[in-house]
Chain A
Amino acid sequence: MTARSLESGAPARERAASPSLWARIWQNDAPGYLFLLPWLIGFFGLTIGPIITSLYLSFTDFDLLTSPDWVGADNYIRMFTNDPKFWASMRVTMVFVIFSVPLKLAFALAVAMLLNRGMRGLPLYRALFYLPSLLGASVAIAILWRQIFARDGLVNDFLSIFGIVGPSWISSPQYSLWTLIILAVWQFGSPMIIFLAGLRQIPQDMYEAASLDGAGKWRQFVKITLPLLTPVVFFNAIIQTIEAFKSFTPAFIISGGTGNPINSTLFYTLYLYQEAFGFFRMGYASALAWVLLALVGVFTAFSFLTSKYWVHYDD
């Protein structure tokens, strides 16, 4: 007998005596995988599967009824060279992101700072201010918004008290996108809650030391509150920007799914939806979706790369 077979002899006997490796795995781990199964099915069947499929479809011509035709990069080339609606929708979404996110964050921070002053009934106010965030993305609120900003809506009723005749905010191309930005800003609740939690983490004696150092409220805000809050600002900015890029329902409801007037509310996602489910150009819609994903990915990566220069972590 060689040394080699001597060495392998013992484990072989052991294996023969005990149940096989697979049986053991099955016995030990099966219940775990069983509990995971619904999520695994969902993750692979409903998330990863469609993502990969859509990547493939983005290189095809596909109308849902006939099988997809491979067209190479044609969809992408057309998008960037020969599709004014793509650029229009990109512009609308960019304007929406650039204005709604900073405004929302600023508003959320302002309200959080107000609430952080230890007022009576804080839990009530917190809940009330959070409410729009819960309802905001819903169809009902979008409909309500349409009523408020319509020609004979609440806003114009209010303006008429001062003798001002307001336009129809949602059907005029100058204003329609801004009503959607206001609607987004109004949903400041969830970043506000996170800001509030962040503000609570800043020790009071930091402000006391600063006030002894002669720093007024504004300097305290700029030099202490804001820097110490940057991790929270960073988190909120990323989440809200991604949300803003994905924003769909309000524009869909308020413009009746058209993105009108004159494409002024044609959000990128709305255009994508039209291409996919209006014109059944699934291949092109998939390409649009991948461009959006890339855009969000680039933005997020850029944020993380720059974060080390402006986000202060305590530890």
Chain B
Amino acid sequence: MATSIQLRQLVKAYGDLEVIHSIDLDIDPGEFTVFVGPSGCGKSTLLRMIAGLEPITGGDLLIDSQRMNDVPAARRGIAMVFQSYALYPHMNVYQNLAFGLETAKTPKAEIQARVQRAAEILQIVPLLQRKPKQLSGGQRQRVAIGRAIVREPKIFLFDEPLSNLDAELRVQMRVEIAKLHNDLGNTMIYVTHDQVEAMTMADKIVVLRLGVIEQAGAPLELYNNPKNLFVAGFIGSPKMNFLTATEDGAGLKVAGATLNLPRAVAGATTLGIRPEHITLTQGSGIKIADLRVDLVENLGGQTVVYATTSDGQSVNIVLEGQAPVDLGSTVTAYADPARLHLFNANGDAI
């Protein structure tokens, strides 16, 4: 039975400086939750508070409904994978994996069995006698994950575990961690600043900014219904386009033209459209604006068009396939009205 986590009004302050502001969050048993946000948003701090590496200033941390605020890190039933891997350089891989079990005075035979099992899962059996310095980045990463696995924790925490790997390895390890989650079924919390990692791995994404949760939900929920400008801009790649909008009697005016929107627009000041939701042929969409094409990137599978409106706002467009768009030409952008996002002056979605 996997473990649930609840954060209730959780606060972290260093002296007078509050960095985590009264956070409420429920993580369901077996859920893969990703904390994502720009640097300094408090995602790592929040993870370390759950781990027991940072004291909690206020509120409650509940693991399986037990208050854990004052329980030492080692007794919270968690294991953590560090960004730096934090492998003990003077011990070989076997000793690194066994350290926690030896500390817990686990019988030798059981240590051996558990280390062997973890090593097999991660395919590092041939590396057991090596020192960390003799391993590649990817291998170290596996050992760091292995160290978490052998302890058979209730909860796995990952603190930006892939950020020291090169792009190819990162994708590979991403898949492996997701597979690991499927196999083990544990509750996992994963911190990253990479929204692609968040989108691909998470059951639930928690978007943080400046110590508060901007939005928490399933990846597609955040993608389809971002609650505010920040989430809309953070989730999705390339970024959502934001166009300044003004209300006139007839509707919403963007780049000098009034949109034919079939919905209420009261209070809207920003129109958001994802690059992949713009087309250059009318189809079922409505006209958004005429654009001048500044740059075209042909990626083969898709074409990225960088363009500007008549009043100088930039719009990026992602078109499927190899679209024939000429540099310097004028095109008309269309979009399905259901795919448009409206935001008020506070940045909240309407």
Residues of chain A within 8 A (CB-CB) of B100 are 212-214
CA distance A180 to B89 in the complex (A): 39
Q: Does B196 contact A (CB under 8 A)?
A: no
Closest to B98 in A: A213
B61 to chain A, nearest CB (A): 15
Closest to B54 in A: A208
Which of B51, B103, B133 is within 8 Å of A219, CB to CB? B103
B107 to chain A, nearest CB (A): 16
Closest to B132 in A: A314
| Residue interface mask B71-108, A partner, CB < 8 A = 1 | 01111001110101010111000000001100110000
Do A212 and B80 have beta carbons less than 8 Å apart?
A: yes
Do B73 and A228 have beta carbons less than 8 Å apart?
A: no
Q: Does A210 contact B (CB under 8 A)?
A: yes
B91 to chain A, nearest CB (A): 8
Which of A292-315 touch B at CB < 8 Å?
Answer: 312, 314-315
Which of A208, A223, A312, A315 is within 8 Å of B99, CB to CB? A223
Do A211 and B86 have beta carbons less than 8 Å apart?
A: no
Q: Does A203 contact B (CB under 8 A)?
A: yes
B54 to chain A, nearest CB (A): 10
Q: Does A206 contact B (CB under 8 A)?
A: yes
Q: Which of A206, A209, A219 has the most CB of B within 10 A?
A: A209
Known interface pairs A213-B103, A213-B151, A215-B103; A208-B90 also in contact (CB < 8 Å): no
Task: Give the number of residues in A that approach B within 8 Å (Cβ atoms).
Answer: 19
Q: Does A205 contact B (CB under 8 A)?
A: yes
| Residue interface mask A193-234, B partner, CB < 8 A = 1 | 000000000010110111111110001000110011000000
CA distance A219 to B104 in the complex (A): 11
Do A224 and B88 have beta carbons less than 8 Å apart?
A: yes
Q: Does B2 contact A (CB under 8 A)?
A: no
Residues of chain A within 8 A (CB-CB) of B151 are 213
Residues of chain B within 8 A (CB-CB) of A227 are 90
Q: Does B53 contact A (CB under 8 A)?
A: yes
Known interface pairs A219-B103, A312-B90, A314-B89; A211-B82 also in contact (CB < 8 Å): no
Do B82 and A213 have beta carbons less than 8 Å apart?
A: no
B82 to chain A, nearest CB (A): 5
Do A213 and B89 have beta carbons less than 8 Å apart?
A: no
Do B74 and A212 have beta carbons less than 8 Å apart?
A: yes
A189 to chain B, nearest CB (A): 28
B316 to chain A, nearest CB (A): 39
Which of B74, B88, B133, B147 is within 8 Å of A211, CB to CB? B74
Do A208 and B53 have beta carbons less than 8 Å apart?
A: yes
CA distance A312 to B103 in the complex (A): 21
Residues of chain B within 8 A (CB-CB) of A228 are 89-90
CA distance A224 to B103 in the complex (A): 13
Which of A205, A215, A219, A315 is within 8 Å of B82, CB to CB? A205
Residues of chain B within 8 A (CB-CB) of A208 are 53, 73, 80, 82, 86
Closest to B89 in A: A314
Known interface pairs A211-B53, A212-B74; A206-B88 also in contact (CB < 8 Å): yes
CA distance A80 to B99 in the complex (A): 51
Which of B84, B90, B99 is within 8 Å of A205, CB to CB? B84
Known interface pairs A205-B84, A315-B133; A210-B99 also in contact (CB < 8 Å): yes
Residues of chain A within 8 A (CB-CB) of B103 are 213-215, 219
Which of B130-188 touch A at CB < 8 Å?
Answer: 133, 147, 151
Do A212 and B73 have beta carbons less than 8 Å apart?
A: yes
CA distance A215 to B133 in the complex (A): 23
Do A214 and B133 have beta carbons less than 8 Å apart?
A: no
Q: Which of B79, B82, B88, B151 has the most CB of A within 10 A?
A: B88
Residues of chain B within 8 A (CB-CB) of A206 are 86, 88
A49 to chain B, nearest CB (A): 45
User: Can you give 6 A-B contacts (C-beta < 8 A)?
Assistant: A205-B86, A209-B86, A211-B53, A212-B53, A212-B100, A223-B99
Question: Ordered nearest first, which 6 A-B pairs have the shortest CB separation?
Answer: A213-B100, A214-B74, A312-B90, A209-B86, A205-B86, A227-B90
| Other 19 A-B pairs with CB < 8 A, given A209-B80, A213-B100 | A203-B84, A205-B82, A205-B84, A206-B86, A206-B88, A208-B80, A208-B82, A209-B82, A209-B147, A211-B73, A212-B52, A212-B73, A212-B100, A213-B74, A214-B74, A214-B75, A219-B103, A228-B90, A312-B90
